[in-house]
Amino acid sequence: MEIVDIIKPDIDFIEKLSKDSGAPLKQCMQCGTCSVVCKLSPEDNPFPRKEMIWAGWGLKEKLLGDPDIWLCHQCGDCTTYCPRGVKPGDVFSSLRFMSYLHYSKPKFLAAFLSKIQNLPFIILIPTIIILGIIYFVTGLEIPPGEIIYSKFFPHKQLNISFSILVLLTIFGMMFSIRNFLKDLKKNMPPKKIKNTVLKSFFEAFKEILSHRKFNKCDNNNYRYSAHLMVFYGFITLLFVTFFAIISVIFFQYPLTFFNPIKIAGNLAAVSLLIGLSTMIFKRLTNIELSGNSTYFDWIFLISLYLLVITGVLVEIARFDSWKFAYHIYFVHLVLVWVVIVYLPYTKFGHMIYRFTALTYCKFIGRE
Ligand code: SF4
Ligand code: SF4
């Protein structure tokens, strides 16, 4: 039997991975420096050296369902120290992107959203749909008098339409995760079960909340604080949005400026803006340390940034009675769609895939 029959290399995959990551995969001499310098790599069967040989061999299935690519936090230490300039950190980042596309359901949507040439349509779809709903409900009239956004897009229709979209997103996500989990088990079968599923789930949750692993980076330690600010800012805003929906039904809405929930929302926006500005600034000014930035990275950072900025403007416009308040509100709604409804197919989805892989690793005792 030929070795190629056993290994089954995927040549297209090798070419695509080299192109996306900008890494000269064939230059890897398997010295193992990357695994030695990586502070997150387990002693048993460490990464990323083994993945680099798999990448050179084009073992697509093995790599896309490899739990270890999700244990990496893209600090770039391995890329800095690799004597052959093979950029394992960037290779892992591209692999995670390919992994989303591979597991996302429906697949055509993931493929569509991943192409820069589709960007105008990606924005046009929510624009047309939201315009259609508002036209159907209020005739697209700009309401006169005091600025109250629900006069333009009533809360009931807004909450129902967006809740349906979010539920569809969650439904698609569950299918994706089921397939992803199946491959994690296939690629790294448990030698022993270390924890219960529930315990693994909470351990993973605790690790993500503390960002403990992020803090281990040598070369790129700004990412710890920036990621922490973005993470907690986003989570807080999700809670605030949830509370706003509840308030519409049971309490008074809109909230006053000094309402504690409003204050929490504003602090979260500041946290997100500082964290995102740091990430964007570092990506623009320190390309070597930040790694290869792709369309996938930029669309995530920019859409989230614009979402926060328009959110702040929507609030100021209401208190200050701006003429274009409703127009800004509309742009904000389109951005909410781009960030939340497209979540599983964009870099945002990494939260869910990483959490799943981390829970699985805790389950099988891979530390
Ligand atoms: S990627 Fe670089 S550091 Fe890692 S094994 Fe290959 S040559 Fe060595
Ligand atoms: S980028 Fe950092 S965490 Fe990821 S494999 Fe390299 S050294 Fe390890």
Note the helical H segments in the chain.
Answer: 3-7, 11-21, 33-37, 49-57, 60-64, 77-81, 88-103, 107-113, 119-138, 149-152, 155-187, 197-210, 222-250, 260-285, 287-290, 295-319, 325-336, 350-363
Length of the chain: 367
Token pair 């922490």: residue: 228
HSE-up (13 A, CA, CB side) for residue 245? 13
The residue extents of the domains of the chain are: 3-103, 111-363
Give yes or no on whether 3-103 and 111-363 have one common fold: no
Q: Give the whole-angstrom CA distance, residue 223 versus residue 110.
A: 27
Low-confidence ranges of the chain (pLDDT < 70): 1-7, 217-221, 249, 251-253, 288-291
Look up the CATH architecture of domain 3-103.
Answer: Orthogonal Bundle (1.10)
What would the DSSP string read from start to end of 149-204?
A: HHHHS-HHHHHHHHHHHHHHHHHHHHHHHHHHHHHHHHHS--SS--S-HHHHHHHH
CB of 87 shorter than 6 A to ligand 1: no
DSSP 340: I
Give pLDDT, residue 1: 45
- Closest C-alpha residue for ligand 1 atom 4: 34
Residues 89-109: tens digit of each pLDDT: 999 999 998 998 899 888 888
Chain center to CA of 267: 22
Give pLDDT, residue 6: 61
Give residue 7 CA to ligand 2 midpoint distance, Å.
Answer: 26
Give pLDDT, residue 74: 85
The CATH code for residues 111-363 is 1.20.950
Give pLDDT, residue 198: 92
Q: Give the whole-angstrom CA distance, residue 90 versus residue 142.
A: 48
- Closest C-alpha residue for ligand 1 atom 2: 82
CB of 82 shorter than 6 A to ligand 1: yes
Q: Are 291 and 89 in contact (CB under 8 A)?
A: yes
Give residue 190 CA to ligand 2 midpoint distance, Å.
Answer: 23
337: its two tokens: 């769609």
Residues 30-66: tens digit of each pLDDT: 999 999 999 999 998 999 999 999 999 999 999 999 9
